[in-house]
A and B are shown apart, each in its own frame.
Chain A
Amino acid sequence: DAGVIQSPRHEVTEMGQEVTLRCKPISGHNSLFWYRQTMMRGLELLIYFNNNVPIDDSGMPEDRFSAKMPNASFSTLKIQPSEPRDSAVYFCASSPRGGRGAGEAFFGQGTRLTVV
């Protein structure tokens, strides 16, 4: 398996523009997580899905952020409108529910977002 795939790897956008980050989880994994990493706040969980259903979105900073998982193999995180304080590395991770890897999260390589 290719692992968790995120795109783009880097994104530079102007303030006010819409940004969409994409994630393809590992096939067969039931849970999907979106994290944001900054120097000030470390790794913050934004939202996680189980079987494509959002379970906990309490970490989503505000209404400008939205996430979807239309099927088991794809998720998006959208920021509209973007602001400079959204600049961070955004990670997607997926996790199987059962088996030897239960509980472990496999991370994508992250998207470095810069809002100017």
Chain B
Amino acid sequence: AQTVTQSQPEMSVQEAETVTLSCTYDTSESNYYLFWYKQPPSRQMILVIRQEAYKQQNATENRFSVNFQKAAKSFSLKISDSQLGDTAMYFCAFMKHEETSGSRLTFGEGTQLTVNP
């Protein structure tokens, strides 16, 4: 079974600064996906960024980037130039790659990020 751990229940950052959210996971699989989802107060789950385990290059989406360390089973999210709208709960998630059948999406406990003006 896979587990995902986010050790920071809460974090805060000043507007325009950079913040890094941590995530570690445990799996015996070699091919999988990792995600960061954002859940603002509206409770909508929004995909922030996605990483495929077989790709060595770290994924980047505008101000969001990841540091994927496969050997260490670490997948941190860096938010640059933080904006007030980034205030949300952030979830790290894991999904095993399956060719023919679906696979469960396992979430971490979440990190509540607050961006202060």
Q: Tell me the A residues contacting B by CB distance below 8 Å.
A: 30-31, 33, 42-43, 45, 48-51, 55-56, 89, 91, 93, 95, 97, 102-107, 109-110, 112
Measured CA separation A105–B103 after assembly (Å): 11
Tell which of A31, A103, A109, A112 has the most Cβ of chain B within 10 Å.
A103
**Contact residues of A: prevailing secondary structure:** strand
The reply to whether A107 and B95 contact each other, CB–CB distance below 8 Å, is: no
A-B residue pair count with CB separations less than 8 angstroms: 61
Residues on B with C-beta less than 8 A from A103 are: 33, 35, 50, 52, 95, 97, 103
Residues on A with C-beta less than 8 A from B35 are: 103-105
A36 vs chain B, min Cβ distance (A): 11
Beyond known contacts A56-B104, A103-B95: 10 more, CB 8 A cutoff = A30-B102, A42-B108, A55-B102, A102-B33, A102-B97, A104-B35, A105-B35, A105-B95, A107-B44, A109-B43
B47: CB under 8 A from chain A? yes
B74: CB under 8 A from chain A? no
Measured CA separation A48–B108 after assembly (Å): 18
Give the residue name and chain of the A residue nearest to B50 (CB).
A104
Query: Can you spell out 21 A-B residue pairs with CB atoms less than 8 angstroms apart?
Result: A30-B102, A31-B102, A31-B103, A33-B104, A33-B105, A42-B109, A45-B104, A45-B105, A45-B106, A48-B104, A51-B102, A56-B104, A93-B105, A95-B102, A97-B98, A97-B102, A103-B35, A103-B52, A103-B95, A105-B35, A105-B93
